[in-house]
């Protein structure tokens, strides 16, 4: 595999990793506050549909992005009501959200657009209907400047704005969780909510805040899928990315920087499936394309089964908090 081919695969890996990264950070906020969220998949799917649908109807991708975030937030509030206010089972609530989003998106898409449960291609609604690639300064001139120039022009430059926002969210998440009072309280709620309550801080308020942040980030993940990575919504386009993000979160042991590398790993595995010829030249073995397609999901099962080391979740995770009287 030559260097340029490796850069092209890495470029594709970055594009595939961004929705995983948004969803992984979303789950990180939620689970750090003690709310397990299996519904990342459903929120991404709902956000993907509404962002694409509203972008198609208005011709403005930014309005579509807000619509996608709003749809994801609405599902997050439902999950919060079920798991925080009514103290229901968090896993069942998340699964219900996945089923709701899977059916509702196709139903509304068919009712609005009559195209078999998909939205029209955003490419038909002008350049403002989807996120386009951004060429960074001097990227064209750097193509002939050796290896570093190729890395800058081929790998760093040429992505949509949501890619750069996704990478910026990693240090921002780290700062919020580990360098702010809000982050300290959020992590404490996931470990010992009774102690937080004793200190006079609202456990319910903090958990709702975490669920809301989760909804915003899932909304950005879904909007990226439908308006940047692709040019419209199709049925079940999230393709299990919410579950892969959960696996990456466990693999990263609920830490933002580790989450970045875990998502890049999954993205790289997905990118390899598009270049089986390069993989065969590298390993000198004829590898079935179906196996390459399945690699991210195989790794997800391996991680969720606990074969990559012990990952200890927040101690109060999954448990509704009942205030003592």
CATH number of 254's domain: 1.10.3470
pLDDT at 1 over 60: no
pLDDT at 221 over 60: yes
Q: Helix, strand, or coil here: 217? A: helix
Is residue 89 situated within a structural domain?
yes
> 38-86, pLDDT tens digit by residue?
999 999 999 999 999 999 999 999 999 999 999 999 999 999 999 999 9
Q: Say what the pLDDT of residue 77 is.
A: 96
Q: Are 314 and 254 in contact (CB under 8 A)?
A: yes
* pLDDT above 70: percentage of residues in the chain: 95
Q: Say what the pLDDT of residue 319 is.
A: 85
Is residue 295 situated within a structural domain?
yes
How many distinct structural domains can be found in the chain? Answer: 1
Burial of 144 (0-12, 13-18, 19+ CB in 10 A): exposed
Range of the domain at 64: 3-129+146-304
Please, which pLDDT band fits residue 282 given cuts at 50, 70 and 90? low
Is residue 323 situated within a structural domain?
no
Q: Say what the pLDDT of residue 325 is.
A: 59
Burial of 280 (0-12, 13-18, 19+ CB in 10 A): middle
Is residue 310 situated within a structural domain?
no
Q: What is the CA radius of gyration of the chain?
A: 20
Q: Say what the pLDDT of residue 152 is.
A: 86
Is residue 320 situated within a structural domain?
no
Please, which pLDDT band fits residue 234 given cuts at 50, 70 and 90? very high
Is residue 77 situated within a structural domain?
yes
């Amino acid at each position: 595999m030559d260097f340029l081919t490796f850069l092209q695969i890495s470029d594709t890996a970055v594009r595939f990793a961004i929705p995983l990264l948004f969803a992984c950070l979303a789950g990180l906020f939620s689970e750090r506050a003690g709310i397990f969220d299996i519904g990342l998949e459903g929120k991404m799917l709902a956000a993907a549909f509404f962002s694409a649908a509203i972008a198609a109807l208005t011709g403005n991708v930014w309005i579509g992005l807000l619509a996608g975030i709003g749809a994801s937030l609405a599902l997050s509030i439902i999950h919060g009501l079920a798991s925080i206010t009514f103290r229901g089972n968090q896993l069942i609530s998340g699964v219900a959200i996945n089923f709701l989003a899977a059916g509702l998106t196709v139903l509304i898409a068919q009712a609005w657009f009559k195209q078999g449960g998909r939205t029209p291609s955003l490419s038909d609604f002008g350049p403002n209907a989807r996120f386009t690639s951004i060429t960074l300064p001097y990227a064209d001139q750097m193509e002939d400047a050796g290896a570093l120039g190729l890395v800058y022009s081929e790998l760093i430059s040429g992505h949509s704005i949501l890619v750069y926002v996704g990478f910026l969210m990693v240090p921002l998440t780290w700062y919020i969780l580990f360098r702010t009072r809000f982050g300290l309280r959020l992590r404490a709620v996931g470990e010992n909510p009774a102690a937080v309550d004793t200190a006079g801080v609202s456990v319910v308020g903090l958990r709702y805040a975490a669920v809301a942040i989760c909804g915003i980030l899932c909304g950005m993940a879904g909007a990226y899928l439908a308006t940047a990575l692709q040019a419209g919504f199709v049925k079940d386009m999230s393709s299990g990315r919410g579950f892969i993000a959960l696996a990456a979160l466990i693999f990263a042991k609920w830490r933002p920087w580790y989450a970045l590398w875990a998502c890049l790993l999954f993205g790289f595995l997905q990118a390899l499936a598009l270049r089986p010829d390069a993989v065969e030249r590298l390993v000198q073995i004829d590898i079935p394309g179906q196996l390459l397609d399945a690699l991210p999901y195989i790794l997800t099962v391996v991680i969720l089964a606990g074969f990559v080391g012990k990952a200890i979740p927040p101690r109060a995770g999954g448990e509704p908090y009942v205030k003592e009287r």
